[in-house]
Structure 1
Amino acid sequence: MHKIKVLLVEDDAFWKKRLSEDLGAEADIEVVGIVSSREEAIAFFQQSEANVVLLDINLTDNNLDGLDVARDIYRLSTPQRLIRIVMLTSLDEEDVILRSFQNGAVNFITKSSCQDILGAIRDAYAGRSSIHPDSAPVLVREMQLNVLTPMEREVYKLRAKGLSKTQISEKLFKSVNTIKTQLKSIKNKLWSEDHQDK
């Protein structure tokens, strides 16, 4: 049987043990390496035959260095060696999810959903796009927001944070009428009732 070779990049001792045991119990998966840092991950990746990288986002001091690891490994991937990166983290911030996919991840799962990791690894290896529910709403909303201009996106984000038209106009140095017009345009483009001009 051809096994899926997984490189685990994780600094937390509990998760290293749990994930390596869970993955090691599967007949079709082999953990070929367990590393804790960006440097170790890149060095090991270049010397191994890993097919899938299971990657934590915070490897040292909550500085999101796993995002850099994802980008570096993705750049080393070639048509002959397509590497699938699955992010597994305790973070669920929208910006972190988006940056993970921008840096080459094919899936993003929070550790509270770790029971889904085996399926995610198999799907990633098979080249199936199965975006986990932990990240799907963020990606769907991002695609919807692509119809907005950069200025409309800025207005949208400020409105989503609860700022009034007046507060947005002051923050962006624009007239209230301009903000009203942009909010109307945003509403029309998104066909949403969430951001009606109140």
Structure 2
Amino acid sequence: MKKLLRLSIVDDNPFLINAVADKLSFYDDIRIVFTAHSGVQALSKIAFEGKPIDLILMDIEMPEMDGIEATGLIKAKYPQIKILMLTVFDDESRIFRAIQNGADGYLLKDTAPEDLYQAVIQTMAGGAAMTPSIARKALNLLRNPLEPSAAADQCDQVKLSGREVEVLEQLAKGLPYTRIAENLFLSPSTVRKHIENIYQKLQVHSKLDAVQEARLRRLI
């Protein structure tokens, strides 16, 4: 008889939590003990649980505390808990930081049910499960490690105005241009101009990329 594995899912999107739970619902040796919508809530629920958690499927972008920071704190306090990052982000910086903070594996959210299950089993056996594209980037990081000083210099080169930061913060909330204009008492054309300037400074071409790059550079 297979050992029952106690899992938790940490993600700020209830729909995605349900989707992941559905993927694992076919396997009798998996039990979802709790779900959480932020790193802070995950830490609280782990402390509240009477029985130990075996593995956490951890999102990255969440309010209050992101998944990478939560991973570091959980690993420091509960080193026996395995943590698999389950995210849409596949950039090398996040992979590097997640591994540094103790992540046991790194998967993308479009992972198929059977692959997700096998990743859980592999991780519990001491392996390091990774989506193939993530594994390639992890190998690339070993061959060409990120230079912290160079990354810091790169971040310092990008200077956003106070108004541009405000616009970015509104974009991060998923608000349309017209709503941003109302909130900041600007005209829609002025908002578009600010966004064009942000794109140029961050060298991106979409709202999602702008928000991700700004967060990566700790501009918002």
TM over 0.5: yes
Q: Show structure 1 runs of 4+ deviating over 3 A.
A: none
Task: Give the corresponding residue for 2:139.
Answer: 140
Contact 1:8–1:55 (Cα < 8 Å) also in 2: yes
For residues 110 and 66 of structure 1, the distance between their equivalents in structure 2, rounded to whole angstroms, comes to 14
Query: What are the Cα deviations for residues 109-142 of structure 1, in whole angstroms up to 9, with x where unaligned?
Result: 1112244221111111111233331311122112
Aligned length: 149
Give the Cα separation in 2 of the matches to 1:33 and 1:64: 18
| Contact 1:55/1:88, CA 8 A, preserved across alignment | yes
Q: How does 1:1-198 map to 2 (within 5 A)?
A: 1-48=2-49, 49-60=52-63, 65-78=66-79, 82-115=80-113, 116-146=115-145, 154=150
Q: Of the two, which has the highest radius of gyration?
A: 1
Specify the SS of the correspondent of 2:132: coil
Q: Kindly, what percent of the aligned residue pairs are identical?
A: 24
- Whichever residue aligns with residue 127 of structure 1, its letter is G
3-state DSSP class of the match of 2:106? strand
| Distance of 1:114 and 1:92 partners within structure 2 | 17
Are the structure 2 counterparts of residues 35 and 45 from structure 1 closer, same or farther at C-alpha, using a change threshold of 3 Å? Answer: same
Structure 1 gaps of 5+ residues are: 159-198
Task: Give TM-score, length-normalised by structure 2.
Answer: 0.61
CA spacing shift, 1:140–1:89, aligned 2, 3 Å: same
Report the residue type matching 1:66 in the other structure. G
Cα deviation, 1:135-155, whole Å, max 9, x if unaligned, reads 111221121125x9x59x949
TM-score (norm 1): 0.67
| Secondary structure of 1:7 counterpart | strand
RMSD after superposition = 2.5
